[in-house]
A and B are shown apart, each in its own frame.
Chain A
């Protein structure tokens, strides 16, 4: 195995854009049925990280590109004390934290995407339960520490699937941006809504949609209903949806391999929920087609392949990437909704896991973001925000309760709830 790695295509942007309002650190968590024992978790982490060497790295600046250097020290395991996805002070790109019954892995996006992070978390919790003495079999759904590391797990799949024949991306229309009042002290508030996954799936199917399409529509509708400022703007409400490319482009890579598609439209009183849902379904089907995603890959990789771009010093590249992200990326969406789907666990492991969560970090122009995942028929929708206002989130869950008739249980880290603004 290498002792250093180049950043994959998607990873290159995150070191350039991260700051205190956009840490580019996301979290995946598993809530177990019993309280976490630190020394067992630490032992499990030390075993599991050997299986994922690409995650035990440090970020360095080269002359032309950043790169990842293998770390010789172990991953720190700590009791949680800071808000989710807070910035690092020691340069660590992966941290394992726990509190009561929850194990969380926070990871800098340059290392991997949600799928890669979930694989790591599954292996970690599996190993943790084994060390606790539980009798569980992986049933081929877990990457085990004793397995060999395959070179395909560290490949940059974007380069592998690059096609030089592509259509350049069209310009997108103006997008509505959320605004709000920042907390008195900077931090991320998380609100988790847990519900029956099957019930939600049935409700979505009644409307002829997938869970993702249905929830995107509810979200757009909530943004429309709760923002008086939107009515005059006549801009598109756009939800950015990361799509796991591994389903259509076979890859075992544990690094980033996703594309972001934007789904949305201008909403007004003439647009019913059903009309909106039909439009969302249509856009999702069109934009997640293999042809469109192939074009997406090629558009992204094309720039990286240019020798003129390669020769630009890193400092200047970062300025350009920051500008592109702020003006061509972050400002072209209202919110991000990331759905990791249903997570498969071995049968005997399921009895030890209550639910899973994904915390999707907010950014400067998207102060509220949404992450969804489900396990054991429990689907958890997590809103992460860095502003006080909760109207959209409240409207979203109220819709599910009143209109969709789904029971929702709410949990929260309660960051900033004592900031008086009402």
Chain B
């Protein structure tokens, strides 16, 4: 108790105070000293600036796309194309590219995964908005999926320790690899050979995983689908 008597006391709250406190935490009366806290660091309150930067960019994006949309709609009689849709989808893709692919610390598989979807979406929208000549679903999207599947397979083949981590993406890309064939089957795409090449690659990926990583694949399947 003698040790306790040496500590400063808040006369307002009648509690003893750690001598390092700048204010009484209960009533916020200032204590007169220059000691630094004994058990807690001085905090850096600047972390909020990163969040503010992101909000500023988002707000500027909203302003830019809104202005473009308005200009397009106001000049629609002179220029009867909905070009603001190109602006929207390109800006969306740039957010994915910069925010997720370049800046974020997400893993390689996640980045490739999202790039496949974002790029496919970008080209599909451009194709749809420019008369839908089907070049996106016939050629571009199958190539994007093929490249994505190839990159993930290459990563797994060269860095075997990541097999577990990437197995989810492998499974997803295998499923995605069948999408071009499904689009051909229902008549959305009209060219058979790109879809069939992608589907063949997905089938080969399944066979390769089964032959060389079947135990890991089964274990991963159990984890992801456990009830």
- Chain A residues engaging chain B, CB cutoff 8 angstroms: 3-4, 6, 31, 60, 62-65, 67, 69, 72, 79-83, 89-90, 99-102, 185-187, 189, 191, 193, 307, 310-311, 390, 393-394, 397-398, 401-402, 407-415, 417, 422
Report how many A-B pairs have Cβ atoms within 8 Å. 121
A410 & B40 in contact (Cβ 8 Å cutoff): no
Please name the residue on chain A nearest to B5 by beta carbon. Answer: A407
CA distance A394 to B25 in the complex (A): 8
Contact of A390 with B28 at beta-carbon distance under 8 Å, contacts A64-B225, A185-B48 already known: yes
Task: Describe B's contact surface by its main secondary structure.
Answer: loop
Q: Which one of B12-20, B91-99, B174-182 is at the interface?
A: B12-20
- A357, chain B: closest CB distance, angstroms: 9
Residues of B within 8 A of A407 (CB): 1, 4, 16
Residues of B within 8 A of A79 (CB): 41
- B39 at the binding interface (Cβ < 8 Å): yes
Please name the residue on chain B nearest to A401 by beta carbon. Answer: B14
Q: A64-B226, A390-B27, A394-B27 are in contact. List 5 more A-B contacts (CB 8 A).
A: A193-B15, A311-B227, A409-B15, A410-B15, A412-B18
Q: List 25 A-B contacts (CB under 8 A).
A: A60-B223, A62-B223, A62-B225, A62-B226, A65-B226, A65-B227, A81-B44, A83-B43, A102-B39, A390-B25, A393-B26, A394-B26, A394-B27, A397-B26, A398-B14, A401-B13, A401-B14, A407-B16, A409-B18, A410-B25, A411-B21, A411-B38, A413-B40, A417-B22, A422-B28
Please name the residue on chain B nearest to A58 by beta carbon. Answer: B165
Residues of B within 8 A of A390 (CB): 25-28
- B37 at the binding interface (Cβ < 8 Å): yes
CA distance A100 to B26 in the complex (A): 24
B15 & A411 in contact (Cβ 8 Å cutoff): no
Residues of A within 8 A of B227 (CB): 64-65, 307, 310-311
Please name the residue on chain A nearest to B36 by beta carbon. Answer: A100
- Chain B residues engaging chain A, CB cutoff 8 angstroms: 1, 4, 7, 10, 13-18, 21-28, 37-41, 43-45, 47-48, 105, 161, 164, 168, 219, 223-227
B16 & A410 in contact (Cβ 8 Å cutoff): yes
Contact of A398 with B13 at beta-carbon distance under 8 Å, contacts A31-B39, A60-B223, A80-B41 already known: yes
Residues of B within 8 A of A186 (CB): 48
A185 & B13 in contact (Cβ 8 Å cutoff): no
- A416, chain B: closest CB distance, angstroms: 9
- A324, chain B: closest CB distance, angstroms: 20
- B222, chain A: closest CB distance, angstroms: 8
- B63, chain A: closest CB distance, angstroms: 26
Residues of B within 8 A of A69 (CB): 164, 223
Residue in B26, B39, B41, B45 whose CB lies within 8 Å of A185? B45
Residues of B within 8 A of A307 (CB): 227
